[in-house]
């Protein structure tokens, strides 16, 4: 029996038989700008500098005498994951200038952690169709530096590039769309740290676990992620944490939004960049990239769950990632047990659990970790660009384990947008393929929103939000009316807030009043 994840088909014996239009990943680069004691904040790199540095690393990763530089010079498209720490008009232009490149196309994504894998799939299709030969994908964020400047009592002005009016606009990849309805935003669902805990508590209720049981399970899973980060040279926090440390609330690990203490949240306060060089097999050969550097995208799939939380059938599952995962596996002719290396998007523990549940993966398999980087909490969560790091790290795993198959997922907004990609050093038998099961997802049942509802309902899930000094200040509740519609409520009673972190709130009856004010029965 072949080892798990290893290609069961014949090993490619004649590389010249490959279709020259086959897309291939030939170079990956990562940079981590850790704090340097005594360094003025104004001397730290800005996002486009990290992107350019990551592309230089990707060129060097191509190996071969000057192969990477030849591919950079041939690049036709510069595709940038939009940074959140600085408002460039066209960051690709600045990256190109720093590298002395003149690609004919500059592109910029919409917001979403799904984008690196989504853009890889679109780029691979363009290469296969003959529309591109060489494309550069890059992204970076420097939120650590932005926040350091704000906290500095001297309030230094960062000397980061401001592009003038009239700067050519980039090609837009994807569509920006508000992640929540006005009613959801008014209830406080305006940021990930307030939304994702709702999924976590819903998972606990669906599993029939107590609060303590679930916290122990989640912290064990997260400790395994930190173990992987401890071996990752690019991780922002390369330190193994114990499960007890992760779930214990204290001055250095305050409760943020129940049930998530600080160490259970994504860490976006990082300065990190990553880049990928994708090209045709023909371009790779022409540039002189050795074949042992080649990593092939096998298949991809993208889909979004019902866009607004109010319409989701439940808050503990994701039909979109289930269907996208099944589609990507089927297109590649693989099953989930054929996958040796995995990186599930890991902004919060619930994202990993939901994806694992839908893809048929155990969260505690000692022989197959669910991350290759350590995840956004420990390896680092640089805005929209984490998945570029996971793909770059996956490439190294696959090169070290030739013939094995890796799976990468990306996620945007609130378990909303999903991207799945399969990778291997063995090329796909019938070329790269990509599909979207969106029509199937859109046809699934939706709940009606109960806007303006007042009356009795049942708590589906909830979170308790804590202020920065650790005290609970309010709760957000998802409430199901007796006819199955979803409403949103809030409460601020201090005793009730504290009780919701000790005694299960899911399933309790509640009275929803005007302006969403809620009383628990």
Whether residue 434 contacts residue 300, with contact meaning beta carbons closer than 8 Å, is answered with yes
- Distance in angstroms (rounded) separating the CA atoms of residues 229 and 96: 31
- Reported as a single tens digit per residue, the pLDDT across 331-348 is 999 999 999 999 999 999
Taking a C-beta distance cutoff of 8 angstroms, is the pair 184, 413 a contact? no
Tell whether the model's pLDDT for residue 459 goes beyond 70: yes
14 pLDDT higher than 70: no
Residue by residue, DSSP assigns 20-43 as: TT-EEEEEEEEEE----TT--GGG
Model pLDDT for residues 90-126, shown as the tens digit of each residue: 999 999 999 999 999 999 999 999 999 999 999 999 9
Q: What does the pLDDT look like over 124-164, one tens digit per residue?
A: 999 999 999 999 999 999 999 999 999 999 999 999 999 99
In whole angstroms, what is the distance from residue 114 CA to residue 321 CA?
11
DSSP state of 81: E
Q: Per-residue pLDDT averaged across 403-428, rounded? A: 98
- Report the pLDDT value the prediction gives residue 313, as an integer from 0 to 100: 98
How far apart (Å, rounded) are the C-alpha atoms in residues 112 and 311? 20
Across residues 503-511, what is the average pLDDT? Answer: 98
Please report the pLDDT score of residue 322 as a whole number.
98
- CA distances to 70, 181, 302, 432 from 421, rounded to whole Å, are 27, 30, 9, 10
* pLDDT at position 4: 59
Residue ranges, comma separated, of all CATH 2.40.50.840 domains in the chain are 455-520
Q: How confident is the model at residue 15 (pLDDT cuts 50, 70, 90)?
A: low
- Alpha helix ranges (H) inside 360-469: 386-400, 438-442
- pLDDT value, residue 161: 98
Q: For residue 8, what are the CA distances in angstroms to 57, 88, 293, 512?
A: 33, 46, 21, 57
Domain 18-178+268-442 CATH class label? alpha beta
Residues 6+ apart with CB under 8 A from 274: 28, 29, 30, 31, 54, 138, 139, 140, 382, 385, 388, 389, 391, 392
- What does the alpha-carbon distance between residue 38 and residue 60 come to, in Å, rounded to a whole number? 30
At 12 the pLDDT is 44
Average pLDDT (486-515) is 97
Q: Contact 473/467 with Cβ under 8 angstroms?
A: yes
Q: How far apart are CA 131 and CA 124, in angstroms?
A: 10
Please say if the pLDDT value at position 328 is more than 60. yes
Task: Report the C-alpha gap between 184 and 94 in whole angstroms.
Answer: 38
CATH 3.40.47.10 location in the chain? 18-178+268-442
CA distance 17 to 348: 44
Share of the chain above pLDDT 70, in %: 97
Q: Residue 521: what pLDDT?
A: 86
488 SS3 class? strand
Distance of CA 89 to the CA centre of its chain: 23
Q: CATH 3.30.930.10: does it fit domain 455-520? A: no
């Amino acid at each position: 029996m072949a080892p798990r994840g290893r290609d069961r088909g014949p090993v490619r014996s004649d590389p010249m038989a490959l279709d020259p239009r086959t897309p291939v990943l030939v170079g990956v680069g990562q940079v981590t700008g850790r704090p340097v004691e005594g360094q003025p904040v104004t001397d730290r790199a800005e996002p486009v500098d990290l992107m350019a540095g990551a592309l230089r690393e990707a060129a060097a990763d191509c190996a071969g005498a000057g192969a990477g530089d030849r591919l950079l010079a041939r690049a036709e498209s510069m595709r940038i994951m939009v940074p959140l720490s600085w408002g460039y008009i066209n960051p690709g232009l600045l990256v190109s200038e720093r590298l002395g490149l003149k690609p004919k196309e500059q592109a910029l994504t919409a917001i979403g952690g799904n984008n690196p894998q989504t853009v890889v799939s679109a780029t691979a299709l363009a290469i296969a169709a003959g529309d591109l030969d060489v494309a550069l994908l890059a992204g970076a964020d420097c939120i650590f530096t932005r926040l350091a400047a704000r906290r500095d009592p001297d309030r230094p002005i960062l000397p980061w590039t401001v592009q003038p009016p009239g700067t050519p606009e980039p090609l837009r990849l994807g569509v920006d769309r508000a992640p929540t309805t006005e009613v959801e935003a008014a209830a406080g669902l305006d940021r990930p740290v307030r939304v994702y805990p709702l999924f976590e508590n819903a998972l606990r209720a669906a599993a029939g676990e107590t609060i303590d049981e679930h916290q122990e399970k989640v912290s064990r899973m997260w400790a395994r992620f930190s173990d992987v980060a401890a071996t990752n040279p690019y991780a922002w926090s390369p330190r193994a944490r114990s499960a007890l440390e992760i779930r214990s609330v204290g001055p250095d690990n305050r409760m943020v939004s129940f049930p998530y203490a600080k160490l259970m949240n994504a860490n976006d306060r990082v300065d990190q960049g990553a880049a990928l060089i994708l090209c045709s097999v023909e371009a790779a050969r022409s540039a002189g990239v050795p074949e042992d550097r080649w990593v092939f995208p096998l298949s991809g799939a993208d889909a979004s769950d019902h866009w607004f939380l109010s319409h989701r059938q439940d808050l503990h599952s994701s039909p979109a990632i289930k269907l996208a995962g099944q589609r990507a596996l089927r297109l590649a002719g693989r099953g989930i047990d054929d996958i040796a290396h995995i990186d599930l998007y890991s902004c919060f523990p619930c994202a990993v659990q939901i994806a694992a549940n839908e893809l048929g993966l155990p969260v505690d398999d000692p022989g197959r970790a669910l991350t290759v980087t350590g995840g956004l909490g420990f390896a680092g969560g640089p805005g929209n660009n984490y998945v570029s790091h996971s793909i770059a790290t996956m490439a190294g795993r696959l090169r070290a384990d030739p013939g094995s198959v890796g799976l990468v997922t990306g996620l945007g907004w609130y378990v909303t947008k999903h991207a799945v990609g399969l990778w291997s050093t063995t090329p796909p038998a019938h070329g790269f393929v990509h599909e979207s099961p969106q029509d199937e997802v859109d046809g699934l049942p939706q709940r009606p929103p109960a806007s303006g509802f007042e009356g009795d309902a049942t708590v589906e899930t909830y979170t308790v939000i804590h202020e920065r000094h650790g005290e609970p200040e309010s709760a957000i509740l998802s409430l199901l009316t007796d006819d199955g519609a979803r409403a949103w409520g809030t409460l601020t009673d201090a005793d009730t807030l504290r009780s919701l972190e000790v005694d299960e709130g899911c399933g309790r009856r509640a009275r929803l009043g005007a302006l969403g004010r809620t009383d628990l029965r």
